Amino acid sequence: MSSSTIQQKQDPKNGSSPGFRFVQGVAQVTGGTVLGITMLTSSIVAGGLVGLATSFRNLPDVRVLRGYVPTETSYIYDVKGKSLASLHGEANREVVKLDKISPTLKRAVIAMEDSHFYMHHGINPNSVGRALLANWERGSVVEGGSTLTMQLVKNLFLSRERRFSRKIAEAVLAIRVEQIFTKDQILEMYLNQIYWGHNNYGIQTAGESYFGKSADKLNLAESAMLAGLIQSPEEYSPFVNLEVAKERQAIVLSRMQKMGWITPAEAEAARNQKLKLGKITSWQTSELPFITEAVVAELNERFGRDTVLKGGMRVQTTIDYNFQRMAEETVTRAHSTLRRRGVRADQVALAAVDPRTHFVKALVGGVNYDKSQFNRAIQSRRQPGSSFKPFVYYTAFATGKYGPGSTVMDTPVSYRDGSGYYSPRNYGGGYSGAMSIRTALTVSANVPAVKIGRAVGLDKVIEVCRTLGIKSPMEPVTSLPLGAIGMTPLEMAGAFATFASNGWHSDPTVIVRVTDSAGNVLLDNTPKPRLVLDPWATASLTSVMQNVITSGTGKAAQIGRPAAGKTGTTSSERDIWFAGYTPQLSTAVWVGNDNYRPIGGGATGGVYVAPIWRSFMLNALKNEPVQYFQPASKFERP
């Protein structure tokens, strides 16, 4: 709202009475004589303060405001734009342009805080004189007399202490600001800067919090109530005392009426209007806390925590709200089923990744976020057991020396490892003699996996894991092929997603795009896949892992379409897994206890976890067409 906008004759389009002029309104309240004196003495006092400015050479340079960007709240959205969470430090703020703020709100604030705003040069001598007299009589600063410009510089540059020297500095800085910026620029900064109560800074978040409206949608009744808050936001808040807030609203409306900025009928209608209050938005919990925690972790790593909390980011995630809710409900139901079956497992975690983009599609870090905020999908490294074996067999296939039909001996063996000997055993005991690698992985024989791992080199297996984005610590110990290391469900899902895409890999992410509040792109995670694995080796591995589901340890994971996967069970029965994929989705599910207590009772990934995976995948793919994996015969063998 410019001075010309305020002075123009108003019409029904902008919602005010005809024949209104700003200067006329001021004259109706102050009287022409006082107004004349005010305007005459304004230049005198202003000139005197400019002279005093030489005594304040250490004051801040107000020219920095040209590049000033107030701290802003960052917002997180799902892939379709649904709001999930807001992130901020002390100040919950969203900056808006002046033309995106309701004209009635601007008038209400000016009427209440500085009716001469478009007429003075930073200070109002009439108000200052009245305040100086009151302060002189009381011997301390008891009355302000501040203009909007003075309030702005106080908020931006000066301390809150009530001293005469600070008030003089405030006036000097206000004059400097008025020499550099237009009135509209000052008003825009003011309305975006000041505190409105309940951790809301700036009119946009205030409007959203108090009335569930953006700043441009506020009507006269709402604007008057908000303008009445400025002097003491918490005390006059309608959330605290609606009766007091209504009294303040009436004062603002009376002021606007006396100035001729609204008619008596408009004032009466606004006083009687029933207001629908919103809710305090500053400390709302996330709609999808497991997701927003993962998003914040990725943002902090890329931009730093301070920027995330104050930079006004707009973050589009890879997550569809309804899809994530479905995943959470699947985990909750599965846990209830496990408990009914007597399975002593307190937690279930799930991670799902799209192999075509490596975008994370779901993250469920536990059974109940309200009871435990630990995000096991990305933070908990648990032993994957036999679900690690595909990394060993891929490494073997990639050498060109082995294929799915290669023979390996399932016979007793011992290896010198560390301080003693390590002798791998199959789950359930016994040995089967000569078998193909396809059979060894299908039935999850342990001894062949250890033998193949030693033959191709455990360092090579670790190198493959690193290529697939697995960052968890690993050592080339003999038991590595049996999953004697810790991994997160997201690492497993992301790595298997690369198998599903025939070796094309991108780093898994929960973020599609990040912009600032002006729309400038800060991060674009458009997939840039690169071929990191041998296509023949990955297709061969997928073929073998399909047998795990069709006729092996993972038969409970059958979903009526081509799928590949692997069960995982640690020898101590502390961790049970199922990880698998289709061409469209890779998912890893873990079940266990946070205190590492054994689940017991012969718990295996094939019996207890594969059905959870199956339930999730059936829901996740119900609207997706059936797709088939490419056969190894399409690719040249290394």
Distance of alpha carbon 118 from alpha carbon 424, whole angstroms: 85
Q: Are 574 and 383 in contact (CB under 8 A)?
A: yes
Distance of alpha carbon 368 from alpha carbon 347, whole angstroms: 9
Distance of alpha carbon 211 from alpha carbon 476, whole angstroms: 61
- Write the Ramachandran bin of 274: left for phi over 0, alpha for psi from -120 to 50, otherwise beta: beta
Is residue 386 part of the annotated active site? The answer reads yes
Q: Over the range 613-634, which residues count as b (16 or more CB within 10 Å of their CB) and which as e?
A: bbbbbeebbeeeeeeebeebee
CB atoms within 10 A of CB 534: 21
Distance of alpha carbon 103 from alpha carbon 151, whole angstroms: 20
Nearest to 302 by CA among 78, 75, 523, 77: 523
Distance of alpha carbon 110 from alpha carbon 612, whole angstroms: 61
The two tokens of residue 601 are 């009772």
Beta bridge pairs of residue 316: 77, 513
> Which residues, 6 or more positions from 70, have their beta carbon under 8 angstroms from its beta carbon?
91, 93, 95, 192, 193, 201, 202
The separation between CA 556 and the C-alpha centre of its own chain, rounded to angstroms, equals 36
Q: Up-side HSE of residue 338: CA atoms within 13 Å toward CB? A: 30
Whole-Å CA distances, 62 to 144, 157, 158, 162, 192: 21, 9, 12, 21, 17
Nearest to 146 by CA among 128, 132, 166: 128
Among 380, 386, 540, 615, the one annotated catalytic:
386
Q: Are 616 and 535 in contact (CB under 8 A)?
A: no
Q: Are 127 and 117 in contact (CB under 8 A)?
A: no
The residue to which tokens 């690369």 are assigned: 498
Beta bridge pairs of residue 530: 505
Element at 340 (helix H, strand E)? helix 321-340
Phi, psi of 222 (to 5 degrees): -70, -40
Is residue 161 part of the annotated active site? The answer reads no
> Which residues, 6 or more positions from 504, have their beta carbon under 8 angstroms from its beta carbon?
355, 498, 529, 530, 531, 532
Q: Are 483 and 384 in contact (CB under 8 A)?
A: yes
The two tokens of residue 521 are 């792109």
Among 113, 170, 328, 573, the one annotated catalytic:
113
Distance of alpha carbon 315 from alpha carbon 86, whole angstroms: 10
Active site residues: 113, 386
